[in-house]
Structure formats: C-alpha cells, structure tokens
Amino acid sequence: MTTFPASTSFVNILVFVKPSAITPGSYDVVTAPAVPVITETDTVVNYQIFDTDGYDIIFTGMSVIPESNNQLSTASVSVSGKLLTFSDANTEKMNMNITLKFQDRLKPEIVFSHDPQISNRPPA
C-alpha cells in the first residue's frame, strides 16, 4: 500500500458584508469564525465573501500587523474579487491583526476595511 503525505490544511472563513443600519453609507462586516485558530503548518487561509445583501462587494487586498512576521504569504484576490487567499507558515505562536480591504464594484469610490485577527497555534 502506498502512503501519501498529509494534505495541505485549508481554513475557510465566511465574510458577511451588509450596509450599516446605524451609520448610513458604511458597512458592517462579520467573519465566521471571528478569529480563526490555525493549528497546522503551511495552512491555506481563504476569506470568502458569502453574503452582501445584494451589493457587489469585492476584496481589494489586505495588510497585516506585525507587517514583518515571517508567517503569511502575500495575499491573492480571485478574478471575481470574492476570494482572498494566502498561506500561513504557522511556525510561531502569535496573533496577527489582519486588515481586509473592500470596495463596492458598482460604486468604486466606496472603499472600507475590516480588522479581524488570526491566531497561530503551531503543532507541538
């Protein structure tokens, strides 16, 4: 019997974006899970815009703090703009602050961001 090495770990995070009921002209963003815990090395992390209440919201990129962390690769935005993907080395226990950047495709002047975290917990 042939033994294959373990496959790459994937973590998918759903992103819900809706116009704010409290602040007109702004958007509320919720991620599920709110703080993904990465437990495997070389994990692919994928943020997916799942529900926008009918608005054509897309990712335009992301930033991370600490910026120099030796953990996250450069993010890639899909052609549709609905997926933002990067890899996480997960070799050091740490929390990172991510800034997801968004735009309304039909009204490009509308840009906004959301600041979730990622929690790295490398395997022992």
> What is the β-pairing status of strands 94-104 and 107-114?
antiparallel
- In a domain, residue 2? The reply is no
Q: How many separate domains does the chain show?
A: 1
- List the domain range (segments joined by +) for residue 52: 10-120
Find the CATH number of the domain harbouring 21.
2.60.40.420
- In a domain, residue 46? The reply is yes
pTM over 0.85: yes
For residue 116, what pLDDT is reported?
95
Can you give the pLDDT of all 124 residues of the chain as single tens digits?
A: 667 666 889 999 999 999 999 998 899 999 999 999 999 999 999 999 999 999 999 999 999 998 889 999 999 999 999 999 999 999 999 999 999 999 999 999 999 999 999 999 999 8
- In a domain, residue 5? The reply is no
Burial 92-113 (b: 16+ CB within 10 A, else e): eeeebebebbbbbeeeeeeebe
- In a domain, residue 4? The reply is no
- In a domain, residue 45? The reply is yes
- In a domain, residue 33? The reply is yes
